Structure formats: C-alpha cells, structure tokens
Amino acid sequence: MRTILFIAVIVALVGCKGNQNQKIEINSGWEFAIVGDEDFKPATVPGYVHTDLLTNGIIDSLYWGENPKKYNFVGDTSWVYKTTFILSKEQISYNTKVLQFEGLDTYTDVFLNGEKILVTDNMFLAYEKNVTSYLNEGENQLEILFKSVRKEGQKIVDNYKFYTEEHARADADNYRKFVRKAQYQFGWDWACPLVPAGIYKPINLILYNSARINDVFIVQEELEDDLAKLKAEIEIASNETTTVDLQVEVNQTIVKTLKNVSLNTGSNNLYVDFEIENPQLWWTNGAGEQPLYNIAVNVVKDGIIHDTKLHKIGLRTIEFVNDWDEQGRSYYFKVNGEPIFMKGANYVPIDAMLPTVTKERYDEFIAQCVEANFNMIRIWGGGIYENEEFYDACDAAGILIYQDFMFASFMPPADDPFMENLEKEAIYQVKRLRNRACMALWAGSNEVESAWFEGYMPKGYPEEVYTIDHKKIFDKLLPSVVKKYHPGIGYVRSSPTTGTDSIMVNTRGYGDAHAWGVWFAMIDFNKAKFGRLTRFISEYGFVGYPAYTSLKKYMPVEEMDTTSAVFQFRDAYIGIQDNIRNFIDRYYPQPRNMMEWTYVSGIMQGEAMRQSNEIYRTHMPYCMGALLWQLNDVWPVASWAMLDYYQQWKPVMYRTKESFAPIIVSIYEDKGQCKLYGVSDEFVDREVELILSLKDFYGKEISRYSKNHTLEANTSTEFHNFSYKDILNGEDAANVVLEAVLLENNDTIASTLHYINRPKDLKLNEANVSYEVKEENGKTVVEVSTDYLAKNLYLIDSKGEINFSNNYFDLMPNRKVKVYPRKEIGADELRKRLSILTLNEILIK
C-alpha cells in the first residue's frame, strides 16, 4: 500500500501542468513470481528475472565459478510481473493515453486491469498501445506475463514451413534463430547461456489532449562553409482536427515558427525548413571537434507547448565509398569529404544483465575508446541495438558506428510472420538512430553471408534458402528500409561482404574481411600481411586471459588451474588453451604459475594485435579500416576482449592505444628484410627526421641511421628498407633492439622498439626497476626507471581496479617515465597496492 501512495504522489505532482503532454514512467511497485506461484517478490523495473532473483537472495552470484550452469531454468520458466499505479482525476481527463513499452524481453502477454491489451514477440521493438478506454481514475493494475522463451521458440520451429524434410532436421534444435532476441544470450563462444526475461527498458504512460510528436527526422540538405540548410520532417499524431504552431529551436533559440498548421485526426507528416549560419563541423575523434547542436521541435497550441522532441545533432557529411576499382572494391568512409582510416573494435553488450548498465558506465566505456584513439565501433549483430546513452556518448566523442542488424551467423527464417516482425523492427531502429552524428553504416548481419560461402550452414539446407530467403531479407527488405528511412547512409548485406554473389566473401581486394588467420589458422603474427589483408578489416583477434587480479573476482583460487572444470568453463571455448600454448612455444618463455599464465597470454595478445594493427595501417589507403575482435566482454571470461568484464585493460588495449596513435612509425619484417613506414592520420604534411638506432639492453647505441622525410598527410609512406644482416653487422640479435624515432623540430612525435629475435630468444638479464609514487599538481603519478631493458613492465594493482595511462610496456634504461592512474587514487593508497613484474624475470628463471 505504501508503494501505491508513493506512486500517487509522484503522478499527482507531474500531473498538474494544464494541457502539456505528460510522460509517466511506470517503474515502481513492481513484483514478480513464477506463473502459478502466489509468492510475489519485489522487482526492479527496468530489470531482469535473474537480477530480481539475485536481489531477493533466491540465487547467488551470477558470474561466480560455474554458477550460471544452475540458471537455465529462467529461460524454461514463465514469469509474471505486476504493479499498481494511480491516476489522478486530472490525468484521467486527458483525451488520449498511450502505454509505451520501450523493451520487453521477449514473449509476453500484457494485461491492463485484467484485459489483454498486447502480445509481444520481439525484444528489439518498442510497442505502444492506446489504452484510453482501459484506464480508471485511481488504481490501475498492469500485469505482464513472460512466456518461456525456450518453449515459445520451439513452437515456432514446429510450425515453420520448411522447403524440405532435410531443412527441418537441420533446424530442429536450433530455435534461437527464430527468436527476435539477442543471440549471445543463448550462448556464444565468449558468452554462457543465460536466456534472461524481463522488462529490460522503461514502460511509460503518455498522456495528451490534442497532439503528440511521434518522430522528428533532421535532414541535412546542404552543408556549406557559411550556411547549413536543414529540414525537420515531423510526424504528429493528433486526436482532433485542429491548428497548431510548429517551432524549431537551435540551442534554445527559436529560429523558425510555422503558424496555424492544420492537423487532421490521425497521423500528420509535416516539415519545417531552417538554417544554421557558420556551421561548426562535427568530426570523428582525432580529426577535429564534435560540436553538437540542440534541435528542439515544439508543438504549440493556445500559447502552450504541448509536446517537444529534442535531438542533439552533428553537422557533417559521411560518405560510405564502396566502388569497384582496379584493385577490387573499395570500402571506406569520407567524413566532411576527407577519407578517414577507421580504427576501433567490435562491441558486444557490456553486461549480460543489460538493464544494469548505467549512463555512467557507458560514458566511462566510451571514454576508454577515445583514449585508445578509436574513431569507430562496430556493434556486432548477435547483441543488441544499444541504448540512447551509448549513442549519446559516441556522438559526443566522435566515435562512428558500424551497426549490424541483429543477426549473427545463423540463417533466420523468412516466412511472412517473421518478415513482418522484422520489418517493424528495422523501421523502428533505423528511425530511432537516424539523427545521430555517429551513425555511419548499417550491415545486414554478422557473418550470415560468409556462413553460406564458407560452408558453415547446417548440411541439408536447400539452395533456395540462400537464393530466395537470404536475398529476401538481406538484399531486399533491410536495404529498402534503410534507403527509405535513412537515405544516404551506407548499407552492406553483411559483415564481411564483397557485396556480390560473384566474388567470394573474404576475397582479397574486395570489400570487408574478417581476418582470422593469426588466431584460428595460427599463422605467425607478421603473416597477417598476407591472406585477408584487404580494403577494410572488420574483425581480427587473439585471445588473452584477464589479469590474475580479475580472475580472483570470478573463481576460487583453488580452481585456478588450467585443467580444472571451473577454469575451463570460463574459457571462451575448449581449445583456446591449445592455441595459446602453441603460440607461447613459438614466441614466449613458459609461464610457471597462474599469474604468469595470465600475464604471458596477455602480453602475447597485445603483441599479436599490435602487429596486425600496424600492418593494416601501413597499407593505407588500400586498406582503410581496422576493427579488432573484440572490445569487451558480457561476463567475466577468457576471450578475445581488450577490456575484461571489470573494464580492466588487458595489454592489447595499451598496445592498441599506441598503434592507433595519429602518427606512428612502424617496422615490418619478413624473412629478414624490413620496411619502415611513417603513418599519419593527420590532414597536414610534416617534415620529420627519422632516426633508427641499434641498441643493446643497457641502452648503449651501437649504430645509427638518420634521414629527413616528408611525413605525408593521411596516408602511409615507406621511409626506409634494410636487412637484419646489414643492420646487425655481426652483433648477436639476442642482445639488441632497434629503436625508430620520428623527430619534428627535435621533438619526438612517434617512436617504436623492434626486436629481431622473438621474446623467448632474447638474452635478458635482470632489470632493476625503481618506481616512485607521488603527488604532482594534485595528481597521483608513478615515476618509473630501470638500469636495463625492462620487457613488458607490468604495474600490478593488487585490487585489479586501476588502469594506467600505460602498462605492460618495454622500458629502456636510464629514462624516467611517468605513468598516471586513470582513476582517482591517492599516492599513499596506490603505493600500498602496487608491485611489479617483468618478462625478464620469467626469461631468466
């Protein structure tokens, strides 16, 4: 009862603003139970069954050890959520009342005051229902029945009309692809199956007397240096024939008013042209600023603003260039007319418990991408279309989005009910995201096309499933929705694709590729240059374990043995350890304990990916994008991720930050022959001096080469080539390192260390590393130096909570380096928590 009173107060307070439209979030007083069980427990909305079970102490820690294995029952069970909300006399007097469900996961029957008002079957779709005639003054009961996902999915499979018996068999146990629900939730190589259910996004009650803005599309018609011409396309629902004024505000100033606009009962499509003088252009991270303009559209009647829609937009052009050329088919993006190399990674949801992710977590997450010099993220097709907060952070940071439609690796059905459902989803999502500065590309799927071409589809699929169904979805429905609702944005049928049936996916020279040679085919790191090095690489990856300090957060210390069942349950898949051992044998000294295992696998992942990053960048402009697999994890697991579940940077994140810097110098070696490149993402040339020196591990220079060069804007230039034999000139490769530096007016603008031998074949001595933790201008800083090369110097925070400005790096002797914690922490506290590990220690043994 107390909760009901509480809601009544809130509702009454917002409900006294005359004729203004109102939006009331129905987020309190919720309870849940298993269907048929009268034992209702308090629930959080938005939320998930799993998190509610946790809060009520019914299950224990979701991500600990093998616990998730116990929670399969959630997807097998039907659940009910209910609440009561109160409407005041004033609220009930509104002419029209609409219930809006921003996200229900997934199969539900919704009852309002005992009447079934809605049936849902798609977690990616928002639903609305006019409930005017169902509501009462005073108490109203809202009840949502979540039907077992597994059972509902199976029903669809059973009723699906297949081409052949064979096809039916191939699909029988594969209900997941029939379900419009995030595919990773059923299990993926880096995700355990958790099959959640729940009200995972807000439910709102919208009240209006006359008109409501359903949608606003801000079209950028012309963008000149001194003037931007824009058009607001406005969709208004009206419940009467009336006249209103339409206003457009730019940064809180009204710039245009259309007086006495007639509205008819029902849906009205209107537009307002307006202009912005001296437009400030929006650029990607690293290429310029990200000014955003607040554009508000108001519907005004009798002097009162009835409804407002606000969008923050960036003024920019984005062109996806996918032309046939003499090398094949290009695949790149021009922002404001400038071709820009895309640097970034593939994103999966930050947490399997989606509703727990806050705006602060999104903001911090994107801030890390900015720090790592990203300008693009691909939202992978087996996850979700993200929340507004995610795209807000990308808009503000200049991170472009390569957005998959939510299909991954499995061929979905293409019968009428599925197509209708999908069409609604596609229209909803394309319209929802089309005003965003960050939106750069839509892709039909993750790897559904390549599954066909590369033979991963289940045996027994008849040809028609590709020639008819696949085309129906990925060549017809989805591109037509994109073209109609967001004209001008790029669309590709899949990631990866060559864009045509006549050229096999992943063919060198043609479009986008997923380049898995280094990890799955286990080729040497430098061989990433061959195989699938093509025009754009939207996936390439390497597994590294989370740090030991992270491991301790999700499994007992006694299970930390690579052969234990718990440990293996937390591996992305059985087999990652074999790959890691194989690579360690080839490149690194053998780890002797769990700490060293996590450390060596981590720095190896960092090195493998550093080489790939640089190989792709040095092939600019032939290759114009490098997106690593994968940026993050949905739960704590040993995977390809660069950030572990706890947002701790693995070495690969640090190495990527360096190799994605705007200017790099890179040395590539093949069979003893080396090429040295300068790569610049900047728009201006620079005059630089290249210095290449051979040094021993005490820092003594053995030989030096130097030459002046022009570092050309926005491309890669070969500066030098040499052989190991010549440069060594008789020195032992095990004792030396090459240091390349680019100087501009005597300032270092880029540098790199290059070893001739692999780490396991270096003759390293002990390094006496000294470090001091102190406060400097109010900031905590760690100052580190060494008397001898410290290889992969690891600053360990015993609590596993602090990322640094740099870590796991090679430190040359007699240089003082400052490293900053990324999070506020006092010098005393950090000093207590800090220790150090180097590869030297493992090599010396």
Compute, in degrees rounded to 10, the torsion defined by CA atoms 252, 254, 260, 263.
-40
- Number of chain positions touching ligand BMA (CB under 6 A): 10
Site string for ligand BMA, 287-306 (x = CB under 6 A): --------------------
With contacts defined by CB under 6 A, name the span among 14-22, 184-192, 217-225, 471-479 that binds ligand BMA: 184-192
Residue 234 vs 652, nearer CB to ligand BMA: 652
Between the alpha carbon of residue 657 and those of residues 138, 371, 610, the distances in Å are: 57, 7, 9
Extract the runs of DSSP E, i.e. beta strands, from 632-685: 663-670, 673-680
Q: Identify residue 568 by its one-letter amino acid code.
A: Q
Is residue 402 a contact point for ligand BMA (CB under 6 A)?
no
Is residue 579 a contact point for ligand BMA (CB under 6 A)?
no
Is residue 539 a contact point for ligand BMA (CB under 6 A)?
yes
Between the alpha carbon of residue 386 and those of residues 234, 421, 672, the distances in Å are: 24, 19, 46
With contacts defined by CB under 6 A, name the span among 33-41, 188-196, 269-277, 815-823 that binds ligand BMA: 188-196
CB of 568 to ligand BMA, least distance (A): 17
- Positive or negative, the CA dihedral 682, 683, 687, 692 is positive
Residue 639 vs 840, nearer CB to ligand BMA: 639
Residue 73 vs 456, nearer CB to ligand BMA: 456
What the block records as the tokens of 6 is 């509480």
Compute, in degrees rounded to 10, the torsion defined by CA atoms 802, 808, 814, 820.
-20
**Among 765, 770, 769, which residue's Cα sits nearest to residue 841?**
765
* Among residues 101, 190, 583, 788, the one that binds ligand BMA under rule CB under 6 A: 190
**Tokens 């018609």 — which residue?**
221
Residue 629 vs 719, nearer CB to ligand BMA: 629
CB of 231 to ligand BMA, least distance (A): 38
What the block records as the tokens of 800 is 């596993």
How far, in Å, CA of 570 to CA of 191, rounded? 9
Half-sphere exposure of 13 (CA within 13 A, CB side): 6
With contacts defined by CB under 6 A, name the span among 183-191, 388-396, 504-512, 593-601 that binds ligand BMA: 183-191
CB of 448 to ligand BMA, least distance (A): 10
With contacts defined by CB under 6 A, name the span among 187-195, 239-247, 419-427, 471-479 that binds ligand BMA: 187-195
- 814: Cβ–Cβ under 8 A, 6 or more apart, which residues? 699, 785, 786, 787
Is residue 233 a contact point for ligand BMA (CB under 6 A)?
no
Strands 293-301 and 242-250: antiparallel
CB of 612 to ligand BMA, least distance (A): 15
How far, in Å, CA of 621 to CA of 314, rounded? 26
Is residue 121 a contact point for ligand BMA (CB under 6 A)?
no
CB of 532 to ligand BMA, least distance (A): 12
How far, in Å, CA of 580 to CA of 192, rounded? 21
Residue 380 vs 491, nearer CB to ligand BMA: 380
* Binding to ligand BMA in span 411-450, by CB under 6 A: 446-447
CB of 659 to ligand BMA, least distance (A): 21
CB of 625 to ligand BMA, least distance (A): 16
Residue 189 vs 841, nearer CB to ligand BMA: 189
With contacts defined by CB under 6 A, name the span among 38-46, 185-193, 358-366, 767-775 that binds ligand BMA: 185-193
Extract the runs of DSSP E, i.e. beta strands, from 415-535: 439-443, 490-492, 512-514
The count of residues in the chain is: 845
* Binding to ligand BMA in span 634-693, by CB under 6 A: none
CB of 190 to ligand BMA, least distance (A): 6
**Among 180, 209, 182, which residue's Cα sits nearest to residue 193?**
182
Residue 162 vs 184, nearer CB to ligand BMA: 184
What the block records as the tokens of 252 is 């809180």
**Tokens 């699929």 — which residue?**
461
Residue 261 vs 348, nearer CB to ligand BMA: 348
Strands 536-539 and 512-514: parallel
* Among residues 208, 293, 629, 808, the one that binds ligand BMA under rule CB under 6 A: 629
* Among residues 214, 280, 356, 409, the one that binds ligand BMA under rule CB under 6 A: 409
Residue 517 vs 800, nearer CB to ligand BMA: 517
CB of 704 to ligand BMA, least distance (A): 44
- Strand, helix or coil for residue 244: strand
Residue 412 vs 821, nearer CB to ligand BMA: 412
Is residue 189 a contact point for ligand BMA (CB under 6 A)?
yes
**Among 463, 488, 428, 447, which residue's Cα sits nearest to residue 214?**
428
* Binding to ligand BMA in span 36-75, by CB under 6 A: none
Report yes or no: 202 and 47 within 8 Å, Cβ to Cβ.
no
* Among residues 306, 311, 514, 532, the one that binds ligand BMA under rule CB under 6 A: 514
Measure CA of the first residue to CA of the last residue in the chain; give whole Å. 68
Residues that bind ligand BMA (CB under 6 A): 188-190, 408-409, 446-447, 514, 539, 629
